[in-house]
Chains A and B, each alone.
Chain A
Amino acid sequence: MGQAKLLFVDDEDELISALVERLELRGIDATGVTSGDEALERLREEHFDVVVIDVKMPGIGGLEVLRTISRRYPDVKVILMTGHGSTEDSEIGRRLGAVAYLQKPVDLEDLLATVRQASSSMETQESNAG
């Protein structure tokens, strides 16, 4: 598998655009959207390897988006991000299949390491299946 294709979901438009710009400068294929609805719409249109979602958003919240992704796209890895995380949210996230739960502000290198980890677990799964 080549480099992972990332989808970022956060209702703070400026956060998403800065993050996506930084990843693009590193040659990483990243897309940003600002709502859970938009994220699910993008996933219907194209494949993403890893989706990074903010837990607290207007409309469909991060945990609900995760639940839908796990059901519809079981091969997509999900990382949850939160500003004020609760242990309960983190537990629910893991039960729903999130591979990691990160506290904001997230250091970009830490985020990329988590994404790499998620991608490599995906590769292992693929090679085991093959």
Chain B
Amino acid sequence: MRDDPLRGSDREGVLFFGAMGAGLSHELSNIFNIINELAGLQQDIVAAAAQSGTAGLARVTDLAARIKAQVDRGEAINRSLHRLSHCIDDTEVDFDLGDALALFGTLAARAARLAEVDIDIRPPETSLAHRGSSFDLLLALHACMRVALAAATSVRRIDVWAEEGPSGVRVIVGSGDPVAGTDGDPSNAAVLMSGSAALGAAPRIETTPEGECHIVLDLGSRRTVAAEQADERKAEV
């Protein structure tokens, strides 16, 4: 057996990127297949119209709109893939948590759909800036999501949101289904710990009084460059 050249968080990152790439590529293939079929249908309709001497313009116009809708869908997926690919380079930057969560929503959509689980990404009400690596956050969220999806057998709903508390920012993956705590399920512990190693924020599982399970990622209060610059300007004044 050959030695695996990738270890620890590097390996987790590559596995995550591979899983996301494969999922998005599958979604793009679906879109190309649909466009292929719609274009074929358009040819069929034009051929039938030419044969019968009728125009069939309304159906052709409708088909053009259906093709355009698929192109827009593909564009959105491609944008997400592009953003994911580029955020690997940014290890220590200011980023907006709302944007990162929205990207995560697109990346997680296929896994949720295949598991027949509804996923709702709730953007923060106000812009929530954070400093660090958005890729590491996405990787940790992916681990939280895997654990939540595996547990989603009854309510089949997952909510993801970010909030600011006294000890800083935290991101929560909430599940209506009970998620076994890391102490109760060693496989959950392994997934969560390895997925969040690069982020350096160990997720913890809390149960609310309403019986909902929250997988909480404490990001702490990392001052953004913008905030530091604002403070420096104030000090100078």
Contact = CB atoms under 8 A, between A and B. Distances in A.
Contacts of B116: 58-59
B115 interface: yes
Interface in B29-69: 29-30, 32-34, 36-38, 40-41, 44-45, 48, 66
B56 to A, nearest CB: 11
B230 interface: no
Contact of A22 (B22, B40, B114): B40
A15 B113 CA distance: 17
B34 A12 contact: yes
B36 A105 contact: yes
Contacts of A83: 26, 29-30, 33
Interface residues of A, number: 18
Contacts of A58: 113-116
Interface string A29-53: 0000000000000000000000000
Interface of B: 22, 25-26, 29-30, 32-34, 36-38, 40-41, 44-45, 48, 66, 70, 113-116
12 contacts: A12-B33, A12-B34, A14-B66, A18-B41, A22-B40, A58-B115, A59-B116, A84-B22, A104-B29, A104-B33, A105-B32, A105-B33
